[in-house]
Amino acid sequence: MGNLERRARMHAALGEPVRLRMVDHLVLGDASPGELGRLVNLPTNLLAHHLKVLDDAGLVRRVRSEGDRRRSYVQLILDDPAVAALVSPDVAGRAERTRHADRVVFVCTHNSARSQLAAAAWARASAVPAASAGTHPARRVHPRAVRVGRRHGLRLTGARTAHLDDVVRPGDLLVAVCDNAHEELPDTTGLPRLHWSVPDPARTDSDAAFEAAYTQISDRIDHLARTLDTT
């Protein structure tokens, strides 16, 4: 399939209001099929049809949860330049805007890599304050995260880990950058939240894995920073 035909297929997939709303939602964060079904108020069979159209067009993929392996999440293929360009807020102007956020708090399990990299990268992309926290914080920031951050001009030397309960406050937007944290976050916070299904680089414990995590987080931050309502 040529590039022109591929782009036409993507545009055709987005030429339906239900699918367009689903993609607008996924610009900011990943979602389970059940979450998307509630968003567009569709039964399972119709939702499956729309997800297949988006999948066949190369716009979305399914990823298995690293936490509850029975779960899967739908995410836009933002590492594909064609998809990233198509859903760019600067071009499309369609992305859903979050409510006002006084601060963005990035959360992962150990607060030792993904959430630390995200908070540091966010500080470079937005004037909105950022923090990071963990549901089960480690004793220190992972050395590979510090090295990857340094390569990208992020300052993680001296960063400390913290528990979610000691960081979160009213007015925050929570962004869970791992599946375990997303699945553990209580619904009782009453705070807006997003989920980015970023694989845990510590499982592989290689520089390449930490670089891949940083790249995925950085791409997501670019989209969120341009769509966050800060007024």
pLDDT surpassing 80 at residue 100: no
* pLDDT 10s digits, 159-192: 899 999 999 999 999 999 999 999 998 776 788 8
pTM above 0.75, yes or no: yes
- Does the CA dihedral 167-185-197-143 come out positive or negative? positive
d(CA 86, CA 15): 13
Task: Tell me what the mean pLDDT of segment 65-86 comes to.
Answer: 90
* pLDDT 10s digits, 25-36: 898 899 999 999
The CATH number that domain 3-92 falls under is 1.10.10.10
Task: Tell me what the mean pLDDT of segment 191-220 comes to.
Answer: 93
The rounded percent of the chain whose pLDDT value lies above 90 is 69
pLDDT surpassing 80 at residue 97: no
Task: Tell me what the mean pLDDT of segment 137-141 comes to.
Answer: 95
CB 38 within 8 A of CB 28: no
d(CA 136, CA 167): 13
What is the CATH T-level fold of the domain 103-227, as seen in this structure? Rossmann fold (3.40.50)
CB 128 within 8 A of CB 199: no
d(CA 180, CA 55): 25
d(CA 67, CA 75): 16
pLDDT surpassing 80 at residue 12: yes
pLDDT surpassing 50 at residue 94: no
What pLDDT does 150 receive?
94
- Listed in order, the ranges of the chain carrying CATH 3.40.50.2300 are 103-227
Rounded to the nearest 5 percent, the helix, strand and coil shares of the chain are 50, 15, 40
d(CA 214, CA 141): 15
- For 32, the token pair is 């389970």
- Listed in order, the ranges of the chain carrying CATH 1.10.10.10 are 3-92
Average pLDDT across the chain, whole number:
89
